[in-house]
Chains A and B, each alone.
Chain A
Amino acid sequence: MGPQEKPRVAFFSFTCCEGCQLMVLSCEKELPDILKHIKIVNFREAMSEKSDDYDIAFVEGSISRRDEIKKLKKVRKQARVVVALGTCSSTGGLNCLKNRYPMEEVKEAVYGKRAALSYKPIDTIPARPIDAVVEVDYYLHGCPISKKEFLSFLTALLMGKKPDTVNHPVCVDCKMAGNICVFEKGGHCLGPVTRGGCDAICVTYGTWCWGCRGPVDNPNIDSHRETLERYGLTAEDVAKKFALYGECGGGRKC
């Protein structure tokens, strides 16, 4: 990339629902402006133009098939910056729920006895985040990602600043949003052990935090674990019983 040129950005998608790419596409207001500063060279969901020459790769989806490993390594080789886009990619996400069962059983349950033939399209391996395969420079968490976070991340990256990583639990966002705590209403919530940055949107819209952004990794904020203990729960209990996103090992990464 020459100094005058716009950075070339590519989007890639592995095992997932493609909701995170769609979230990017739904920046309708900002899109025309964004395109003044970057050149999108690969975005399967929206365009036919394609190129193998890119600087920044946004990677969505978990790795759940052998051929995906090879493809992901190719992306890493080409890109200067690799960003995990969304929970499937950053922690393995919901896809890891299938890891609770042996892969042969998983295949057979969906495809029947023929699965034993193990033909290529249905070949499956335990789902994993992309950093189980390649080095990742930045993570955007969330299932789906937050639009706001994506936009501020992109701005920072383009200005050559180090993008911020949120390192407080969802409870902090939740208090800011002025919500009544779900525990007070007799429910349960993964907010105390989950990384914030989403404005606690799930609590605001009437449910609890499901833990989609993965565990918060700052050990100093144990006070929020106390919230759980007050209600007779440990973080491990909560992760085991309620976590949909932490099947790969008690709320930790796959």
Chain B
Amino acid sequence: MKRDLNIKIREITRVEGHGNIVIDVKKGEIKDLKLEIIESPRFFEMMLRGRRYDEAQHIMARICGICAVSHTSASLRAIEDAMDIRISRQAALLRKLAFDGEMLQSHILHIFFLVLPDLAGVGSIVPLLASHPEMARTGLELKRLANEICETVGGRHIHPISLFPGGVVFTPKPADLKKLRGELEASFTGLEAALEFLVNAKLPDFSLEREFISLKSKGEYAFYSGEPVSSLGKEIDPGCFTEEIKEYVVEHSSAKHARSSKGTYMVGALARVNNNRRQLGPRAKGALRASGMKLPCYNPFMNNMAQLIECFHAAEEAIGLIDELLDLGPKTEPLAKPKGHGRGVGIVEAPRGTLYHEYEINKEGIIEGSVCIIPTAQNLRSIEDDLRAFVPMLLDRPKAEIARGVETLVRAYDPCISCSAHIMDVSFME
């Protein structure tokens, strides 16, 4: 059947969506397909210009409430790279611990607040509390623990305070770290339950080969640091990442898109699990086996599974970090001082993928220029490619089902909370 179809999916909120999906099909062929991002841009590059270097992490954290630790970390690493600052081992351990807390917090929020309600056929965690009380409470409990990790290290889980150029300016008490350790040990039961739920809920079978880019680190599964690599076997020089990763402006989006020298690529949990599976911790490897995921996996819907596998890893890693910290006996340390100035790059794996910060800092310690490439911008092109391949497979289904499929696909990417983590309103125009 050569079908005409015109779909517009708008975000649900009364303030109108921050992201829309527009699909126009004529005689069974896609004429137009775009993910419109209409989020108000905030112009962080301009906010930063002319500010002191030790304000940068504070400003840049506020790009995103949900991945504030990632932005803070990328910012600190860019500052420290530019100014030749070497932080202590204790500071690095604490920063990584906060990072694991955020990874958990972000993935748990996505899996329990968005994906599971969807799979259970309800609208949010509120009805889930009635229909699947165990699961909902597990989600709330895991999220609380994740927040507590960030609070213990950073003072606050949204916009951490103590992570500062030159180190970490607050030292958690051993007793608080021990408490976290105990709770982390207990968290695997909840994660196992979520895994079982996700394995039994059939995720759509759809696959499209593509490039995956993520950091890779010698000694560990890369979250906080590493060098960018591509699944096509290419290493990317972190100092000149803008030669491989190019951002460009598209008419229908306030978020820029990005491409690699090969074109479309994907970042995030699925990319990391594909690129770095050997470095997952033992429990995370167990979860990977139980998930039945075959690697390399090109199914974007499996990104949710990859996120859950990473929750196991983050919890394991956090336990290890706490043990190291307790061995070290955490003490108050002075900040490492700047020794230079110039250009610096900081790259981390934020929950949604590779995050690049690059600053130019002058002799006075003032920021003269900056570049920031966020994960969702890198995935927008991949999402649109997927939709182009996925929608034709659905064309013989009822409209509501098509719209639902499209929405689920976009959500699987867990695009930044301020553009589409939210449920979208569906309307058809024919």
Contacts and interface: CB of A to CB of B under 8 A. Distances in A.
B is bound to A? yes
Interface of A: 10, 12-15, 17-23, 25-26, 28-29, 31-32, 35, 40, 42-50, 52, 61, 64-65, 67-68, 71, 74-75, 94-95, 97-98, 100-101, 105-107, 109-112, 114, 119-122, 124, 143-144, 201-202, 204-207, 210, 244
A44 B58 CA distance: 26
Contacts of B45: 109-110
A10 B124 CA distance: 15
Interface stretch (B137-145, B206-214, B221-229, B267-275): B137-145
Given A122-B41, A144-B156, A205-B162, A47 B423 contact: yes
B16 to A, nearest CB: 6
A205 B154 contact: yes
Interface in B53-94: 55, 58-59, 62-66, 68
Residue among B40, B147, B417 facing the most chain A CB atoms (10 A cut-off): B40
A244 B58 contact: yes
B135 interface: no
Contact of A29 (B40, B50, B144, B170): B144
Contacts of A122: 41, 254
Nearest to B153: A205
B12 A48 contact: yes
B14 A75 contact: yes
A193 B425 CA distance: 45
A49 B161 contact: no
B38 to A, nearest CB: 5
A244 B13 contact: no
B124 A47 contact: yes
- 5 closest A-B pairs by CB: A19-B65, A206-B169, A47-B124, A205-B155, A48-B423
Main secondary structure of the interface of B (DSSP, over half): loop
A18 B42 CA distance: 12
Contacts of B123: 47-49
B124 A49 contact: yes
A57 B417 CA distance: 20
B140 A98 contact: no
B13 A12 contact: yes
A71 B159 CA distance: 28
B37 interface: yes
A107 B36 CA distance: 19
B125 interface: yes
B430 interface: no
> Which interface class (under 10, 10 to 19, 20 to 34, 35 or more) fits B?
35 or more
B421 A45 contact: yes
Nearest to A127: B42
20 contacts: A17-B62, A19-B64, A19-B65, A22-B66, A22-B158, A22-B417, A23-B65, A28-B140, A28-B141, A48-B423, A49-B123, A68-B15, A75-B15, A97-B51, A100-B50, A110-B45, A121-B252, A143-B62, A144-B65, A205-B155
Contacts of A94: 47, 59, 62
Contact of A95 (B36, B42, B109, B140): B42
Nearest to B144: A28
A110 B41 contact: yes
B120 interface: no
A50 B123 CA distance: 10
A106 B59 contact: no
A31 to B, nearest CB: 7
Nearest to B55: A244
Contacts of B421: 45
B364 interface: no
B129 A44 contact: no
Nearest to B332: A206
A246 to B, nearest CB: 13
A150 to B, nearest CB: 12
B131 to A, nearest CB: 14
A14 B15 contact: yes
A30 to B, nearest CB: 11
A111 B65 contact: no
A157 to B, nearest CB: 20
